[in-house]
Amino acid sequence: MTPIPPVTNAESRVAGDREIDVRYYAELLWRGRVFIVSVTLVALMLGVVVSFLQTPEFRATAILQIDPPTQTFMTVTDALVGSNYWQHADFYNTQFRVLRSGTLGDRVVESLKLQDRPPFKDAVDPGGLFMRSVSVDPIAETRLVNVSVTRENPEEAALWANTLAETYVKQSVQQRVDSALRASQWIQERLTATSKSLHQAEEQFFKALEGQDLFVPEGSVSAVIATITKLNEDFVDVQARRITIEAALKQVSDMEERGVALDALPQVAQDAQISALDAQLTGLNVELSRLAEKYKPAHPEIQRVQAQIKELRKARQSRARQIVDSMTAEMGQLQKRARELRAAIDRQKEVAAKQSRRATELETLKKEADSAKNLYDVLLQKLHETDIAASIRNNNVTVHQRAFAPSSPIRPNRKRMAGIALFLGLLLGVGLVLGREYLDNTIRDPEEIERYLHLDLLAVIPADTEVNVSLVTEAVQSLRTSLLFARSHKENAGQVVLVTSTAPQEGKTTTLVRLSQTLAVTGEKTLVLDFDLRRAQIHTRFDLTREPGLTNHFMRQSELEGLIRPTRTPNLFVVTAGPLPPNPPALLGRRDLTDLLERLRQSFEWILIDSPPLASVTDALLLARQADHVVFVVQHNKVDKRLIKRHVGALHRTTPNVLGAVLNNIDLKLKSYYAYYHYPGKGGGRGIVSNESAE
């Protein structure tokens, strides 16, 4: 028999995410279609009712043309040519604010004589109240502005819009006239005061120039500054040389303290006499080596050469000491020279400071005189230019188009309101259905096993009632089929299957008992191990005693064959939990457990392990590492699915052998399609078989 190729968990999850998610949400919305349609129709009716209850409003629009402003002070050319529109963004933003201001609104209210009519009669701010019905919208890429007024009466809206535009034009002209008059008056006053200041500044400058004994040709450098510069350069050179000599003398001192020869000193190594002596020493050493090959150390020739070498070394040391002494003498001279240069620099700086103060005072007086003269010239020129520009200036604000009474209202737009209400109602209905599903934090649908937990769905087991007996049997048969598909083909080796769950009371033990009976009835030799050592239940399900059991084998070295007990079902055997151990996790982590399972594999085709829930203790994770397959039991509508997903993730991190999940205790009265079961497996695809066809 050729084994069915396995499908990896990753592949099944990707396929499930791509197919089941879309189908799941589509079915969810289809099941809630009546609710969605009801909410949509209610919203549509409300939108229609609101649109008919609203009072119609009309909008009249006048168009203004606002050109860039002409400057108060400008040349004749500027007045004729004008300026760029985009250079006056701040001006246009200001004008748009003015068009919406309460001050302009007060003037319009006064022009229309609305102050005695409600609601303006008792209003604290009539202008602001008027502006609530006004909107200002500039037309892009133009100098035109739409000034609109919205009222319940179309004729009144047109009258108000035209009056607002005309009042703004009059206000703009008046502001420009007032600004020109104020500018002319200010120039006249400043011109008189500047003339007096100019005469006083020039007189003070000439008097100060006569009393100063200071002359520096224009474009040249003062002799004091040049002297200071030269002295600073000399001082820097002396300091650099002094630092070099000082470092060398410090090195000499360190070498003498350590008893090291002065050969490594750069001044000594670079000396010409030292180099000559080194050359002679090298030659004598070569000659001494040659003679040593021929004669003994006491030979006169060898002694002669050794005496010469000794004399040259003494001469070399003497020369090195002369170099050090000369550096010491030079160090003293450099220190003296540095003090002299510093004193000379300080004296020259005092002289330069005095000259600088005198030059600064004279320059200040000269700048004051020049500034007064320049200001006088500018004011005189602007006075003449203002008179010329005023004669050719035009008003920059005009009414481009007057407002007309509109024939149709702008509000309410009943079609638009109905469309919005329809869309919002549909959105609200869909949102409520999805929100209700999101707030439900338990596993309620078989597809959530694959879509949310990313596990294969092995079986869907209905609630155990008298009516559902055959359906429960069929569901357990489906689980057995999944195990058969997933069976690994090991010769003469049984399959170890761990059955666990997230929390207590999810039907884990019941599912294991039913599965074991189903496997045994088909003729396969099956063994049930109760590793739920704290709350063992297997012995009660098979009418057996708890002791002796697994704990006796691990702690008291009881023989395994004596612990395996038969049940009333043929081919089905049980090993109960035994007495409660002091530390169950330590027992499950022993190597003996692996040896125990390997021995049992040789005698049984199926070994089913009952373990504690994952949320309670870590026993199930320890057992999962020993199992060939892990079956995860989830009870319908009981445990928080986020808790389930977290423990499923822990199980995946522990072992790759998670076969899938069983959805337990489904109420068939709630969902009709829960009567359909999947037949998944790691090695095969999924089929859908109804209960009726299975029966």
* pLDDT tens for each residue of 257-281: 776 666 667 766 667 777 777 777 7
Averaged pLDDT score across all residues of the chain: 76
Whether residue 84 lies inside any domain: the answer is no
Among residues 367, 390, 413, which one ends one of the domains?
390
- Per-residue pLDDT at 573: 93
**559 and 688 assigned to the same domain:** yes
Whether residue 632 lies inside any domain: the answer is yes
Which of 52-56, 222-226, 427-431 has the least mean pLDDT? 222-226
pLDDT > 50? residue 17: no
CATH number at residue 665: 3.40.50.300
Beta bridge partners of 146: 63, 137
**347 and 241 assigned to the same domain:** yes
- Per-residue pLDDT at 631: 92
Percent of the chain with pLDDT over 90: 5
- Per-residue pLDDT at 8: 41
**521 and 651 assigned to the same domain:** yes
**481 and 624 assigned to the same domain:** yes
Find tokens 């373990």 and name the residue.
611
For 168-206, the pLDDT digits (tens) are 888 887 777 777 677 767 777 776 777 677 666 666 666
Rounded distance, CA 168 to CA 170, Å? 6
According to the per-residue pLDDT averaged within each range, which of 220-234, 344-358, 555-569 is highest?
555-569
Among residues 368, 390, 412, which one ends one of the domains?
390
pLDDT > 50? residue 16: no
Do 622 and 446 meet the contact criterion of CB atoms below 8 Å apart? no
- Per-residue pLDDT at 298: 77
Distances (CA, A) of 465 to 458, 462, 471: 21, 8, 10
Whether residue 94 lies inside any domain: the answer is no
Which phi and psi angles does 645 have, rounded to 5°?
Answer: -65, -40
Query: How many domains does the structure of the chain reveal?
Result: 2
Rounded distance, CA 488 to CA 492, Å? 11
Do 518 and 476 meet the contact criterion of CB atoms below 8 Å apart? yes
Which phi and psi angles does 495 have, rounded to 5°?
Answer: -100, 130
pLDDT > 80? residue 221: no
Rounded distance, CA 284 to CA 24, Å? 104
- Per-residue pLDDT at 305: 77
pLDDT > 50? residue 322: yes
Whether residue 572 lies inside any domain: the answer is yes
**358 and 473 assigned to the same domain:** no
Whether residue 338 lies inside any domain: the answer is yes
pLDDT > 60? residue 109: yes
pLDDT > 50? residue 668: yes
Using omega within 30 degrees of 0 as the cis cutoff, is the peptide bond preceding 300 cis?
no
**385 and 487 assigned to the same domain:** no
**252 and 381 assigned to the same domain:** yes
Model-level pTM greater than 0.85? no
For 343-395, the pLDDT digits (tens) are 888 877 777 776 667 666 666 666 666 776 677 677 666 666 655 445 445 57
Which of 36-40, 165-169, 636-640 has the least mean pLDDT? 636-640
Find tokens 């609305």 and name the residue.
114
DSSP state of 681: B
Whether residue 481 lies inside any domain: the answer is yes
Rounded distance, CA 333 to CA 331, Å? 5
- Reported as half-sphere exposure (CB side, CA atoms, 13 A), residue 195 has a value of 8
Q: Which domain holds residue 266?
A: 223-390
Which of 62-66, 97-101, 191-195, 538-542 has the least mean pLDDT? 191-195
Among residues 343, 375, 390, which one ends one of the domains?
390
Do 411 and 56 meet the contact criterion of CB atoms below 8 Å apart? yes
- Per-residue pLDDT at 681: 38
**527 and 385 assigned to the same domain:** no
Whether residue 334 lies inside any domain: the answer is yes
**472 and 324 assigned to the same domain:** no
Whether residue 177 lies inside any domain: the answer is no
Q: Can you state the percent helix, strand and coil of the chain, rounding each to 5?
A: 60, 10, 30
pLDDT > 90? residue 227: no
Looking at 113-264, list the stretches that DSSP marks H as alpha helix, in order from N- to C-terminal side. 126-131, 154-211, 223-257
- Per-residue pLDDT at 384: 62
**487 and 370 assigned to the same domain:** no
- Per-residue pLDDT at 427: 92
**258 and 373 assigned to the same domain:** yes
**Cα–Cα nearest to 71, from 184, 180, 144, 191:** 180
**351 and 486 assigned to the same domain:** no
